[in-house]
Amino acid sequence: MSTPKRRLTTFLNQVPLFLGLVLLWMLLWGAFSWLNVLTGILLAAVVSVGFYLPAVQLGLRLNPWFTLLYLARLGFDIVRGSLQVAALALSPRYTPSNAIVAVHLRTRSDFILTLTGVSTSIVPGAIVVDVDRVRSTLYLHVLNVHRPEQVERFRNGVLAEEHRIVMALGSREDVERLRQVSGEDRSEQNQRARDQHAREKRKRKGST
Amino acid sequence: MSDELQDVISAVLVLTGAVMCLAAGIGVIRFPDVLSRLHAATKPQIFGLMAITADVAVNNFTVGTVTLVIAIVVFQALTAPVAAHMVSRAAYDSHRVRVDVLVIDELGTRPD
């Protein structure tokens, strides 16, 4: 890749974030005026330079239809998840039984990893306990899990969430990777993780 | 919009929000450990906030209010999971997790 082209990509990467900051400034004022736009641009520049962070790599791709689908599903899931947790909190026969589940995501993008983590935290289910960025793995705490099938169903749910996000705004490479990594491969890897877990548990029991 | 319809919508939204916040509060008390309590503190709470801010937007339908409501909900939805993550990670690393209520813990046995 030539240097000017790379510089252009970096610049394009910054534009949506910069515009987002300006938009937020206008939202806080609750009105549109040219003075707001001007002060917004100034402040956004000050914030991006003053609080400098390594730039996040956006995919620079947005599919409006899949984004709409993702947002609609997210809204539905927020309602469903809230009702589930509320029902659990109020249920008289509540017995605590939780799980911490590792989900290996297929993406290699920090942006998609973060979005998936945030999305799964507000929909039925999970709280991100730890993130392994190198392996793109989320460690999620799941409420009210009693049987192994439920763990598997939850894992598939998170992978479906990731799929929706990548289709909506992942980069082209991510979409390609999604196609290449078959579900079979994944479940094999999960099976291996489970086997290891069972082995270590047995070992621990044997030693005590 | 007729006044009656607006009243009904307001009542439904405010009641939903109130019930969700109540459930969140009860969950924080009833759930056994930090990680479970975080679930109660993030999920029903977001839905409750959405219902109540939606009610404000319905009753005061101007561009300023609606955009501000959207900003409130978006930022709540973005920050609550991050805050929950920070707390849960600290709790896990300092062993303030009830292991006896976990059916599986794949973080404790991860490959290094």
Convert the pLDDT of each residue in A29-41 to its tens digit.
Answer: 777 788 888 888 8
Q: A7-16, A108-117, A177-186, B81-90 — which is least confidently predicted? A: A177-186
What confidence score (pLDDT) does residue B18 get? 92
Question: Both tokens of residue A87?
Answer: 């029902």
Is B16 part of a structural domain of the chain? yes
Cα A26–Cα A68–Cα A25 angle in degrees, nearest 5: 10
Decide which of A11 and A96 is more confident: A96
CB contact under 8 A, A98 and B102: yes
pLDDT score for A101:
85
The answer to whether A64 and A16 are in contact (CB under 8 A) is no
Subunit contact A143:B24, Cβ cutoff 8 A: no
Residue B112: what pLDDT?
53
| pLDDT at residue A2 in the model | 55
Supply the pLDDT for residue A199: 64
d(CA B92, CA A136): 20
Q: What is the mean pLDDT of residues A136-164?
A: 86
In a domain, B107, yes or no: no
Q: What is the pLDDT, as a whole number, of residue B105?
A: 81
Which residue is closest to B62 within chain A, CA to CA? A30
pLDDT in the model for residue B75:
85
Note the maximum CA span of chain B: 63
Percent of chain A past pLDDT 90, that is, above it, reads 0
Q: Taking CA atoms, what residue in A is nearest to B45?
A: A82
What local confidence, expressed as pLDDT, does residue B51 receive?
A: 92
Question: Can you read off the two tokens belonging to residue A103?
Answer: 């989900």
Taking an 8 Å cut-off on Cβ atoms, the answer to whether A78 and B50 are in contact is: yes
Instruction: Evaluate whether residue B32 is within a structural domain.
Output: yes
Q: With a cut of 50, list the residues of chain B below it in pLDDT.
A: none
Q: Does B71 contact A28 at a Cβ distance shorter than 8 Å? A: yes
pLDDT for A202 equals: 63
Task: List B residues 58-97 in contact with A (Cβ-Cβ < 8 A).
Answer: 63-65, 67-68, 70-71, 77-78, 80-82, 84-85, 88-89, 92
pLDDT digits (tens, 9 = 90+) for A181-198: 655 455 555 566 666 666
pLDDT for the residue B13: 92
The average confidence (pLDDT) of chain A is 79
The range of the structural domain enclosing residue B76 comes to 3-101
Report pLDDT for B54. Answer: 92
Count of domains forming chain B: 1
Give the pLDDT confidence score for residue B32 in this predicted structure: 84
Instruction: Tell me whether residue B30 is in a domain.
Output: yes
Structure tokens at A79: 């309602």
Residue with tokens 């008289």: A92
Q: State pLDDT tens for residues A128-141.
A: 888 888 888 888 88
Residue B11 within a domain: yes
Specify the pLDDT at position A163. Answer: 87
- Strand pairing category for A98-104 and B102-105: parallel
CA distances from residue A160 to A73, A105, A120 in whole angstroms, order as listed: 11, 10, 11
Residue contact A101–B104, C-beta within 8 A? yes
In a domain, B106, yes or no: no
pLDDT at A46 over 70: yes
Q: Return the pLDDT at B11.
A: 92
Q: Which whole-number Å values give the CA distances from B99 to A99, A110, A193, B33, B95, in the listed order?
A: 9, 30, 19, 10, 9
